[in-house]
């Protein structure tokens, strides 16, 4: 890791060291994994924001994640997870978790965007990690949706299903549906690897490719169904349910009509 070219990545060597130290000291195997390559944007973070974030954190997050974000028995360490992870987890309502679950579910966010920004500022002050992406990074207006589809089928569809409907994983975990994910959240999820999802840093999937993927997911979210009702886009399973209820039901109704005694 030491041979990372720091200047190109705009990432100080020290923070990698800090990250490693933090990980070893806390021994948090379950740490929400950070991208070693991510490029935290140095957006205008004020001291007041960090202060406000610390207050919110102490109130709402510290019972699981520890008073200094070092993690605890019920929550991973947040040192070095970066602002993007906070913006994603809190912005999609996954955090704070209402109760202990196998996996945090998407809900309506509890905090306002300003509060989320403050939390993110505080958490990224604990240790550098991927920053919240800039709108220009996830702007997909010039993206290639067909190429996005190819990369999606290569990297995403194995968990999130061909139509972004999500799918089951092992031990009660699941890949969530992408139908409500915003471009920013998709980008954040890729660079931070929330929950069980692998990290797809900008070095693994360049920003341009991420925009293509976002364009494809945007297509999936709005795609028409030329053939008629989509039955949830889950493949042959829901087609079977329809077949043996409505379709064969209708045919049997007709057979009963034909066979019934006429009066």
Partner 1 sequence: MSEQSNLPATHGAHDNHGGEVDYATRDERGRYILPLEEHTPRITDIDPRAAKRAERQVAWLFTLGGACLAGGVAAYVAFDSRELISVPTIGRVSASNFWLGTLIGLGSFFIGAAAIHWARRLMPGEEAVDHRHPLRGDEQSRASAIEQFKRGAAESGFLSRPLVRRTMLGAMALFPLPLVVLLGDLGPSPKEKLRHTMWGDKRMTRIVNQGSGELVRPEDMAVGGLINAIPEGLERIQEETGTQNERAKSSIILVRMNPSEIKAQQGEGWDYEGILAYSKICTHVGCPISLYQQRTHALLCPCHQSTFDLSDAGRVVFGPAARHMPQLRLGVDAEGYLVALGDFAEPVGPSFWERG
Partner 2 sequence: MSNSTIPTTPQGKAADFLDERLSISKAIKSNISKVFPDHWSFMLGEVALYSFIILLLSGTYLTLFFKPSMVEVIYNGPYVPLKGVKMSEAFASTLHISFDVRGGLLMRQIHHWAALFFIGAMSIHMFRVFFTGAFRKPRELNWVIGTVLVLLGIVEGFMGYSLPDDLLSGTGLRITQGIIAAVPVVGTYVSFGLFGGEFPGQDVVSRFYTLHILLIPGLILALVGAHLMMVWYQKHTQWPGPGRTENNVVGYRLFPVYTAKAGGFFFVVLGLTTLISALVTINPVWMFGPYTPDQISAGSQPDWYMGFLDGAVRVMPNWEISAFGHTLSLNLIIPAIVLPGIMTTLLGLYPFVSVD
Q: Is 255 in the site for partner 2 (CB under 8 A)?
A: yes
Give the tokens for residue 170.
Answer: 């092992």
**Which of 73, 142, 172, 257 contacts partner 1 by CB under 8 A?**
257
**Which of 34, 124, 137, 211 contacts partner 1 by CB under 8 A?**
34
Question: Smallest distance, Å, CB 103 to partner 2?
Answer: 15
Q: Is 200 in the site for partner 1 (CB under 8 A)?
A: yes
- Residue range at the interface with partner 1 (CB under 8 A); choices 63-71, 91-99, 111-119, 196-204: 196-204
- Residue range at the interface with partner 1 (CB under 8 A); choices 55-63, 89-97, 135-143, 220-228: 220-228
Classified as helix, coil or strand, 174 is: strand
- Residue range at the interface with partner 2 (CB under 8 A); choices 19-27, 47-55, 84-92, 219-227: 219-227
Q: Is 207 in the site for partner 1 (CB under 8 A)?
A: no
Give the tokens for residue 106.
Answer: 């998407």
Angle at 64 between CA 87 and CA 197, to 5 degrees: 50
The CA distance from 91 to 105, in Å, is: 12
**Which of 5, 8, 260, 263 contacts partner 2 by CB under 8 A?**
260
Sign of CA dihedral 209, 80, 179, 231: positive
Of 68 and 159, which CB lies nearer to partner 1 in the complex structure? 159
| Residue 225, C-beta contacts closer than 8 angstroms, at least 6 positions apart | none
Q: Is 173 in the site for partner 1 (CB under 8 A)?
A: yes
Give the tokens for residue 251.
Answer: 């045919």
The CA distance from 10 to 40, in Å, is: 8
Specify whether the CB–CB gap between 76 and 31 falls below 8 A.
yes
Of 108 and 171, which CB lies nearer to partner 2 in the complex structure? 171
Of 117 and 209, which CB lies nearer to partner 1 in the complex structure? 209
Give the C-alpha distances (Å, rounded to integers) separating 105 from 49, 84, 116, 173, 216.
27, 18, 18, 10, 23
Site for partner 1, rule CB under 8 A: 1, 3-5, 23, 29-30, 33-38, 151, 154-155, 158-159, 167, 169-171, 173, 175, 193, 195-201, 203-206, 209, 224-230, 254, 257-258, 261-263
């Amino acid at each position: 890791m030491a041979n990372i070219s720091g200047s190109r990545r705009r990432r100080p060597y020290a923070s990698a060291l800090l990250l490693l130290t933090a990980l070893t000291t806390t021994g948090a195997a379950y740490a929400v994994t950070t991208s070693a390559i991510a490029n935290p944007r140095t957006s205008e973070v004020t001291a007041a924001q960090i202060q406000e974030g610390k207050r919110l954190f102490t109130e709402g997050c510290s019972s699981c994640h520890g008073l200094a974000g070092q993690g605890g028995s019920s929550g991973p360490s947040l040192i070095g997870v970066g602002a993007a992870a906070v913006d994603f987890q809190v912005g999609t309502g996954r955090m704070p978790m209402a109760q202990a679950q196998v996996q945090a579910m998407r809900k309506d966010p509890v905090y306002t965007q300003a509060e989320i920004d403050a939390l993110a500022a505080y958490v990224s002050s604990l240790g550098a990690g991927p920053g919240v992406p800039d709108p220009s990074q996830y702007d997909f207006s010039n993206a290639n949706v067909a190429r996005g589809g190819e990369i999606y089928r290569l990297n995403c569809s194995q968990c999130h299903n061909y139509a972004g409907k999500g799918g089951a994983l092992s031990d009660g975990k699941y890949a969530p549906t992408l139908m409500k994910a915003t471009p920013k959240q998709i980008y954040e999820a890729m660079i931070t690897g929330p929950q069980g999802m692998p990290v797809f840093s900008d070095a693994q999937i360049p920003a341009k490719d991420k925009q293509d993927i976002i364009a494809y997911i945007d297509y999936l979210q709005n795609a028409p169904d030329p053939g008629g009702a989509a039955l949830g886009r889950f493949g042959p399973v829901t087609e079977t349910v329809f077949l043996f209820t409505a379709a064969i039901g209708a045919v049997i109704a007709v057979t009963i009509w034909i066979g019934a005694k006429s009066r």
